[in-house]
């Protein structure tokens, strides 16, 4: 049984990047008949004065709370009125990534759709909230780049790499493929130092293609073996004019905390289209490739 998308959460801070992601989420909610959840988080660290600064007056904080609550309520009302969607809103306080991930779990959401700051902004920000949300969230995260509005996903790039549970993302992307009547490019990607895995990846791609075709999905195949896998995937995405890139966002542990590997970071930083990040093993057993992977070590 494939995953359905019934609840979508969008972090809202009223910025251009946030509004761009919101438009993508609205379009998805319409297609999937999903409930839209808007969450605005007042980052409490911004209210803690540094040495020598005055403590914010209680009235100012209260006024700020009232203002954001009114703005969010007005936004939710407008979405319900103009798009006919079920739209709920919540105002919270705390560290934005932690609050968003906790709220997504509390509301039993299927997907978080978030905007990401431009490259110049990232350089001066203490933390990129999109990446921090991805690192801490247990459900898939769709990261929408600023400056480009994408309302549907007609062409989807689906890289297949030699990592554990590489195809677990299929459960999440299947309803997106069907609702958009999308064409999928399965791209097997192997580093030149992993030549022993070429046959395995080819079999994984072929097996997945057979599975997709049996579900009436238009699918093409490509195999890349060489240097710069991330660069080649981005280049392929640009050449094929894809609307969505789906990646397995495996996290690694170091110094007692999780961090995002360079491959995932590069995909998100350099992609000009939305990137759907699904963590390995997201609620699906890979029956189609189990026999292929038996006794094969994928690292």
Residues 130 and 217 in one domain: no
Residues 96 and 222 in one domain: no
How far apart CA 86 and CA 70 sit, in angstroms, is 18
Q: What is the pLDDT of residue 292?
A: 38
Residues 275 and 166 in one domain: yes
CA dist 218 to 155, 210, 275, 297, Å? 10, 11, 20, 30
Number of compact structural domains in the chain: 2
CA atoms within 13 Å, Cβ hemisphere of 77: 6
In a domain, 19, yes or no: yes
Q: What is the pLDDT of residue 171?
A: 84
Q: What is the pLDDT of residue 258?
A: 41
Residues 108 and 210 in one domain: no
Predicted confidence (pLDDT) per residue in 228-240, tens digit: 889 999 999 999 9
273 contact partners, CB below 8 Å, separation of at least 6: 145, 148, 150, 237, 242, 243, 244, 245
How far apart CA 152 and CA 46 sit, in angstroms, is 36
Residue where a domain terminates, one of 90, 120, 145: 145
In a domain, 180, yes or no: yes
Pairing type for strands 141-145 and 275-278 reads antiparallel
In a domain, 298, yes or no: no
Which alpha helices (DSSP H) does 169-218 contain, by range? 170-180, 198-214
At residue 253, φ and ψ (nearest 5 deg) are: -105, 135
The mean of the pLDDT values for the chain is: 82
Residue where a domain terminates, one of 124, 145, 166: 145
Which residue range is the domain that position 244 belongs to? 155-293
How far apart CA 34 and CA 109 sit, in angstroms, is 10
Residues 63 and 89 in one domain: yes
Residues 267 and 140 in one domain: no
Residues 160 and 280 in one domain: yes
Which secondary structure element, helix H or strand E, spans residue 292, and what is its range? helix 290-293
Closest CA to 17 of 158, 107, 149: 149
Residues 128 and 167 in one domain: no
Query: CA end-to-end span of the chain, whole Å?
Result: 28
Predicted confidence (pLDDT) per residue in 42-95, tens digit: 887 555 554 455 545 455 556 666 788 999 999 999 999 999 999 999 999 999
In a domain, 89, yes or no: yes
Percentage above 90 pLDDT, the chain: 55
Residue 106 has pLDDT above 60, yes or no: yes
In a domain, 150, yes or no: no
In a domain, 37, yes or no: yes
Q: Considering the entire predicted model, what is its pTM?
A: 0.84
- Calculate ∠ Cα 201-206-211, nearest 5°: 125
CATH of the domain at 174: 3.40.50.620
Predicted confidence (pLDDT) per residue in 6-52, tens digit: 999 999 999 999 999 999 999 999 999 999 999 999 887 555 554 45
Using a CB cutoff of 8 Å and minimum separation of 24, what contacts does 77-84 make?
A: 79/26, 79/36, 79/38, 83/26, 83/29, 83/30
Predicted confidence (pLDDT) per residue in 116-167, tens digit: 865 444 433 334 788 889 988 989 999 999 888 999 999 999 999 876 566 7
Q: 260-279 burial string, b = 16+ CB within 10 Å, else e?
A: beebbbbbbbbbebbbbbbb
Residue where a domain terminates, one of 145, 178, 200: 145
Residues 287 and 159 in one domain: yes
Q: What share of the chain is helix, strand, coil (3-state, %, to 5)?
A: 45, 25, 35
Residues 130 and 24 in one domain: yes
């Amino acid at each position: 049984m494939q995953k359905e998308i019934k609840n979508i959460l969008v972090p809202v801070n009223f910025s251009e990047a946030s509004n761009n992601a919101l438009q993508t989420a609205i379009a998805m909610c319409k297609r999937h008949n999903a409930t839209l959840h808007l969450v605005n988080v007042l980052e409490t660290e911004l209210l803690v004065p540094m040495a020598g600064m005055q403590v914010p007056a209680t009235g100012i904080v209260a006024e700020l709370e009232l203002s954001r609550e009114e703005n969010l309520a007005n936004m939710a009302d407008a979405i319900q009125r103009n798009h006919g969607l079920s739209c709920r809103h919540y105002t919270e306080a705390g560290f934005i990534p932690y609050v968003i991930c906790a709220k997504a779990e509390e509301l039993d959401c299927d997907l978080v759709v978030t905007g990401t700051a431009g490259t110049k902004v990232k350089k001066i920000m203490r933390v990129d909230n999109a990446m921090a949300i991805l690192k801490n969230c247990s459900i898939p995260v769709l990261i929408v780049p600023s400056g480009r509005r994408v309302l549907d996903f007609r062409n989807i790039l689906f890289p297949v790499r030699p990592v554990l549970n590489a195809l677990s993302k299929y459960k999440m992307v299947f309803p997106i493929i069907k609702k958009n009547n999308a064409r999928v490019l399965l791209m097997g990607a192997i580093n030149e130092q992993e030549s022993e895995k070429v046959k395995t990846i080819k079999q994984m791609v072929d097996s997945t293609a057979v599975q997709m075709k049996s579900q009436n999905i238009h699918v093409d195949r490509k195999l890349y073996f060489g240097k710069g896998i991330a660069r080649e995937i981005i280049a392929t995405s640009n050449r094929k004019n894809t609307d969505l890139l789906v990646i397995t966002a495996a996290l690694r542990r170091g110094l007692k905390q999780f961090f995002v590997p360079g491959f995932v970071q590069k995909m998100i930083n350099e992609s000009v289209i939305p990137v759907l990040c699904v963590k390995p093993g997201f609620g699906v057993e890979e029956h189609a490739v189990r026999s292929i992977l038996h006794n094969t070590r994928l690292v």
